[in-house]
A and B are shown apart, each in its own frame.
Chain A
């Protein structure tokens, strides 16, 4: 309790992931689903950074490979958000809805 271990961070990250996962499964608004995806990506970032700090190398520095991977995840997530939101806008123009249960045909 008075000293932080790796498990504290992994548990926080796992719970955040579970929240995003529950949101994707339970919510029906496509934008909220998209935000919950971001929540899951960030949960994985937290566990990567925790592992990076946990594995201190011989030079006394954290393992920076994990932090570079987080950098890549953030970059790819930003690109994904841009494309995803453009698709949502195009979908809204065609159907005037963001509710996933109203969009059931694969092609229109």
Chain B
């Protein structure tokens, strides 16, 4: 990936991420999240992970975010009014986040492999859907079946949860 594209998409992704956190209107937050996911998909494609990029757009920016918007509309959430902020919680949250970023920068500065550029690929054309599929069905067959059961359990659970009267 050319560096200029990386900088553009990384900056856009982070800017939309900030917009998710600071927007008071939930619909604006959700749409910023969609934009952030699309930029992330572009970064995936830049890392030669085409299949993951496509899945990111279809599943995340498509299905999951539609679900979010649907629920926001269903609950008819208005932009929240400015409540009085708990100063202590605000300071605590900012402190913990700043500590996390400081720790991250320190770990990355101590990580020697991090300063090396990405090695070139040894193949001219990447058949990455095939490769992901081969890995999935050979090395990760049992986890794949288990995830299928998990999705089934989740869908049954959602139906139980959304019955009108909960016992």
Residues on A facing B (Cβ under 8 Å): 1-12, 14-23, 25-29, 31-32, 34-36, 38-39, 42, 45-46, 49-50, 52-54, 56, 59-62, 64-65, 67-68, 70-72, 74-83, 85-90, 92, 94, 98-99
Residue of B with least CB distance to A64:
B135
Contact pick for B104, options A2, A14, A60, A92, CB 8 Å: A14
Contact pick for B89, options A2, A15, A26, A45, CB 8 Å: A26
Which residues from chain B contact A1 at a C-beta distance below 8 Å?
Answer: 3
Contact A89 B71 (CB under 8 A): yes
Could you tell me the distance in whole angstroms from the C-beta of B92 to the nearest C-beta in chain A?
7
Residues on B facing A (Cβ under 8 Å): 1, 3, 6, 10, 13-14, 17-18, 20-21, 26, 29-30, 33, 36-37, 40, 43-44, 47-49, 51-52, 55-56, 59-60, 63-64, 67-68, 71-72, 74-75, 77, 80, 83, 89-90, 92-94, 96-97, 100-101, 104-105, 108, 111, 113-123, 126, 128, 131-132, 134-136, 139-140, 143, 147, 150-151, 154-155, 157-158, 161-162, 166
Q: List 23 A-B contacts (CB under 8 A).
A: A6-B116, A7-B114, A8-B10, A12-B13, A14-B101, A18-B104, A22-B94, A25-B92, A34-B68, A35-B68, A36-B21, A38-B60, A46-B40, A49-B43, A61-B121, A61-B122, A65-B135, A65-B140, A68-B136, A74-B56, A81-B64, A83-B154, A98-B77
Residue of B with least CB distance to A79:
B154
Contact B147 A42 (CB under 8 A): no
Contact B75 A89 (CB under 8 A): yes
Q: Cα distance A81–B69 when bound, in Å?
A: 12
